């Protein structure tokens, strides 16, 4: 039998908040040896003290997680800084966790390191894995690519990029009671279980297609031979440009990501910008190759909620519509900004689909990871919502 539960901690004291979350979890879920604990927390806490408390309560559990740009639970979006923990325990599952480091220097090797260690520790018996990574210090796509190199292209990987409350300065990753930065942490799951995944964004393109003519890594320099920022200037006017770098994520561009059609592909992926430099180059959370076609994307409340429902239904289909034991919801900060005070409605829509009594834990982050490498397309998403369900 697979059982999950959640706990929530709040307040000014990180250690007490961590203990509070763990105590609430253990009221509904006995946590023995061989369990796993997912931790999603506000960056405003003392990270080391927080993980110290969780490790004290669950010394024998496999602990992984990350900092966020907002915490999600069965109660919806946390109205204040909080830590959300999810416990997973079962007599038919085994968990194996690890960490990969130095994303700044070699992101692909960091992904390969965490995947290789999980494979080694499990003797190759894991059937899926969760990854939580940093995209501020390096190229998140390459981290995921490195993990697929070790696991294999048909291996299901799910997860997300950590957040830091839109500061875009430093995110944190958690493993075994320790706090890292510029790293990737992973949890491999072995045993008898079903896992379902759904991902959707609900954004539609506007305007004409444009061609990326100069880009390097995650920095987009030119579109149609002009500074990349001009694509936003054309739609929103010169008056926004003087303060665009400071207000990019809280204003225009977080609500209007770029839709990118990669060279030789038919699928369109979304890419969220981080900042603009003085020459009009835009840095994104993932690569946009030269030769890609780009368009500005937009959405609204109804489209966002409809996409959350589609993601939940897709995840249910992946477990043959069985009753989920628990749900992990990874949401985009862009969607949170669009919904504003209605952000909780996304969770209500998901609960209506999967069941109101299913424990939910998750967070708002800077990217979503999910699926297998279909047709060589890396499943690395922005501005989307991911629903991950685990069942018997």
Whether the per-residue pLDDT at 73 is higher than 50: the answer is yes
Q: Among residues 382, 387, 341, 362, which one has the least CA distance to residue 253? A: 382
335, 271, 326: which is closest to 25 by C-alpha?
326
Mean pLDDT for 262-284 is 81
How far apart, in whole angstroms, are the C-alpha atoms of residue 149 and residue 128? 14
- Mean pLDDT for the stretch of residues 275-304: 88
Using N-to-C axis directions, what is the helix angle for 301-318 and 344-354, rounded to 10°? 30
DSSP 116-169: HHHHHHHTT-EEEEEEEE--SSS-HHHHHHHHHHHH-TTS-EEEEE---TT--S
SS3 of residue 321 by DSSP: coil
CA distances to 16, 22, 26, 175, 354 from 76, rounded to whole Å, are: 22, 19, 20, 25, 15
Q: Which carries the bigger pLDDT value, residue 137 or residue 87? A: 87
**Domain residue ranges of the chain, discontinuous segments joined by +:** 2-200+303-391, 204-297
Query: Which 3 state secondary structure label does DSSP give 343?
Result: coil
Residues 18-32: pLDDT tens digits?
999 999 999 999 888
100-104, 205-209, 328-332: least confident range = 205-209
Above 70 in pLDDT, residue 242? no
pLDDT, one tens digit per residue, over 206-218 is 888 999 999 998 8
The distance from CA 187 to its chain's CA centroid, rounded to whole angstroms, is 14
Structure confidence at residue 244 (pLDDT): 53
Q: What number is the average pLDDT over the span 193-211?
A: 93
Tell me: pLDDT of 327 over 80.
yes
Percent of the chain whose predicted confidence (pLDDT) is above 70: 94
Helix H or strand E segment including 220:
strand 219-223
Q: How far apart are CA 200 and CA 381, in angstroms?
A: 9
Identify the band that residue 249 occupies on the pLDDT scale cut at 50, 70 and 90: very low
């Amino acid at each position: 039998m697979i059982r999950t539960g959640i706990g929530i901690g709040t307040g000014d004291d990180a250690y007490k908040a961590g203990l509070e979350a763990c105590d609430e979890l253990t009221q509904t879920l006995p946590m023995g040896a061989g369990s796993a604990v997912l931790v999603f927390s506000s960056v405003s806490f003392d990270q080391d003290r927080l993980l110290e408390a969780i490790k004290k309560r669950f010394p024998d559990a496999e602990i992984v997680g990350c900092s966020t740009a907002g915490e999600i639970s069965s109660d919806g979006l946390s109205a204040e800084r909080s830590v959300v923990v999810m416990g997973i325990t079962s007599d038919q599952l085994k968990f194996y966790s690890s960490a990969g480091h130095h994303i700044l220097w070699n992101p692909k090797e960091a992904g390969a390191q965490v995947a290789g260690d999980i494979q080694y520790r499990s003797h190759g018996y894991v059937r899926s894995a969760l990854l939580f990574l940093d995209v501020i210090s390096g190229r998140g796509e390459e981290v995921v690519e490195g993990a697929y190199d070790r696991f294999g292209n048909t291996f299901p990987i799910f997860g997300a990029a950590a957040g830091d409350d839109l500061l875009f300065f430093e995110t944190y990753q958690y493993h075994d009671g320790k706090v890292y930065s510029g790293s990737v942490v992973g949890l491999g799951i072995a045993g008898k279980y079903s896992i379902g995944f759904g991902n959707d964004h609900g954004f539609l393109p506007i305007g004409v297609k444009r061609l990326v003519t100069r880009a390097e890594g995650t920095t987009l320099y030119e579109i149609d031979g002009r500074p990349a920022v001009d694509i936003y200037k054309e739609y929103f006017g010169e008056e926004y440009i003087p303060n665009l770098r400071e207000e990019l994520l809280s204003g225009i561009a977080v609500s209007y990501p770029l839709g990118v059609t990669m060279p030789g592909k038919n699928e369109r992926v979304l890419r969220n910008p981080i900042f603009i430099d003085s020459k009009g180059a835009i840095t994104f959370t993932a690569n946009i190759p030269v030769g890609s076609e780009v368009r500005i994307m937009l959405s609204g409340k109804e489209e966002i909620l409809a996409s959350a429902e589609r993601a939940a239904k897709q995840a249910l289909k992946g477990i043959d519509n069985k009753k989920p034991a628990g749900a992990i919801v990874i949401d985009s900060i862009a969607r949170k900004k669009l919904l504003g005070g209605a952000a909780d409605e996304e969770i209500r829509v998901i609960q209506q689909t999967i069941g109101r009594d299913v424990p939910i834990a998750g967070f708002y982050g800077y990217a979503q990871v999910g699926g297998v490498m279909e047709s060589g397309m890396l499943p690395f998403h922005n501005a989307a919502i991911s629903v991950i369900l685990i069942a018997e």
